[in-house]
Amino acid sequence: MAQTSTHSHRELELLDALRRLGGSARGAELAKALDVSEETVRRTIKSLSKSGAVERVHGGAYLTGTQGDPSFFRRISRHSDEKQAIAAGVADQVHDGMTLFLDVGTTTAFVAEELRQRSGLTVATNSIGVAQALVNHNGNKVHLLGGEMQGDERGTFGFVTERQARRFAFDMAILSVDALSAKRGFLYLNETEANLAGVIADSAESVLMAVDHHKFSETAPHQGPEPRQVDMVVTDQPPGAKLATALLGWGIVTHLSSGADSDADHD
């Protein structure tokens, strides 16, 4: 490629790292792969994006063209302010030393970044990004569950993942969801993700769902954990009357993230 010769040595290294990581990666992953600071990665990505070699998204970048599957990074860049606020609200529920499960959701990726403020966590996850964010930090112990990789989710699923998850006694499971229905509860687009969420809920002392308000109007074909297994929903806007009534009936606390009216919390 003629354009490649115009790139600096650092830019060429980052492009090579992106290819080795499957075409897309978060900034923290690239920083570790290149043994540089995340600020250096951000500057390099910004430079590469001007030439069209990469596309910048919140938290990372992906190669343009057909070289990478950018679906996760496109999703994580949508409604990022809401997800960041929700993540801060979730982190408020987590204490040092807890044993947690975090899934592959894009909101959960923001939660993982917030949890870098905690210490001594034991974290099991099926998410590459979550593991990367928390491993070797503040005395955390991180377990990346095995199983079949799904590139568009950047995580593992299936029988092996579920079997390994059952070996943990979680203080809290932090899960995401594709839709929240007043009639059917917590819904997923992916059957294997719904199945794993159910397994995790069975192994957790408490279950917290991180849900942005856009999911209130969505639908999906697969049911996740039974609603009465869920203890708390952390969201960025109050649910409508019908959904709020359903949540109350299921015994779920609705916690509004920072900036929302605390009087709207329900229990």
Q: What is the reported pLDDT for 79?
A: 63
**Cα–Cα distance measured from residue 62 to residue 226, given in angstroms and rounded to the nearest whole number:** 36
* This prediction's pTM: 0.76
pLDDT tens digit sequence for 125-140: 999 889 988 988 899 9
Number of Cβ within 10 Å of residue 35's Cβ equals 8
**Cα–Cα distance measured from residue 159 to residue 77, given in angstroms and rounded to the nearest whole number:** 30
> What sections of the chain are H helices per DSSP?
9-20, 27-34, 38-51, 71-77, 80-91, 106-114, 128-134, 159-165, 191-202, 241-249
| Same domain membership, residue 218 and residue 137 | yes
pLDDT tens digit sequence for 144-160: 999 998 766 679 999 99
| Same domain membership, residue 214 and residue 114 | yes
| Same domain membership, residue 87 and residue 50 | no
User: Looking at 49, 76, 103, which one is the last position of a domain?
Assistant: 76
The share of the chain scoring above pLDDT 70, in percent, equals 87
| Same domain membership, residue 113 and residue 195 | yes
Look at 221 and 80; give whichever has higher pLDDT.
221
| Same domain membership, residue 201 and residue 148 | yes
By the 8 A CB rule, do 173 and 206 touch? yes
Strand partners, 172: 100, 206
| Same domain membership, residue 139 and residue 258 | yes
User: Looking at 37, 52, 76, which one is the last position of a domain?
Assistant: 76
| Same domain membership, residue 224 and residue 147 | yes
- Given a cut of 60, is residue 70 above it in pLDDT? no
Determine whether 169 is exposed, middle or buried from the number of CB atoms within 10 Å of its CB (0-12, 13-18, 19+): exposed
- If you search the block for the tokens 């343009």, which residue do you land on? 64
Q: What is the reported pLDDT for 73?
A: 60
| Same domain membership, residue 260 and residue 171 | yes
Number of H helices, E strands in the chain: 10, 15
Q: What is the reported pLDDT for 29?
A: 82
- Given pLDDT bands bounded at 50, 70 and 90, which one contains residue 76? low
Give mean pLDDT, residues 203-216. Answer: 96
Determine whether 52 is exposed, middle or buried from the number of CB atoms within 10 Å of its CB (0-12, 13-18, 19+): exposed
User: Looking at 76, 102, 126, which one is the last position of a domain?
Assistant: 76
CA 15 → CA 33, 235, 241, 242, 261, distances in Å? 11, 36, 49, 49, 45
Rg (CA), the chain: 19
| Same domain membership, residue 155 and residue 55 | no
**Cα–Cα distance measured from residue 244 to residue 265, given in angstroms and rounded to the nearest whole number:** 10
CATH of the domain at 57: 1.10.10.10
Look at 64 and 207; give whichever has higher pLDDT.
207
| Same domain membership, residue 251 and residue 120 | yes
| Same domain membership, residue 112 and residue 127 | yes
CA atoms within 13 A on the CB side of 181: 17
Q: What is the reported pLDDT for 163?
A: 97
**Structural element, H or E, at residue 26:** strand 24-26
- Residue range(s) defining the domain that contains residue 16: 2-76
Give residues with Cβ within 8 angstroms of 199, minimum separation 6: 162, 165, 166
pLDDT tens digit sequence for 216-237: 988 999 999 999 999 999 999 9
- Given a cut of 60, is residue 49 above it in pLDDT? yes
Number of domains within the chain:
2
CATH of the domain at 144: 3.40.50.1360
| Same domain membership, residue 62 and residue 118 | no
pLDDT tens digit sequence for 88-126: 999 999 999 999 999 998 899 889 989 999 999 999 999
Give residues with Cβ within 8 angstroms of 2, minimum separation 6: none
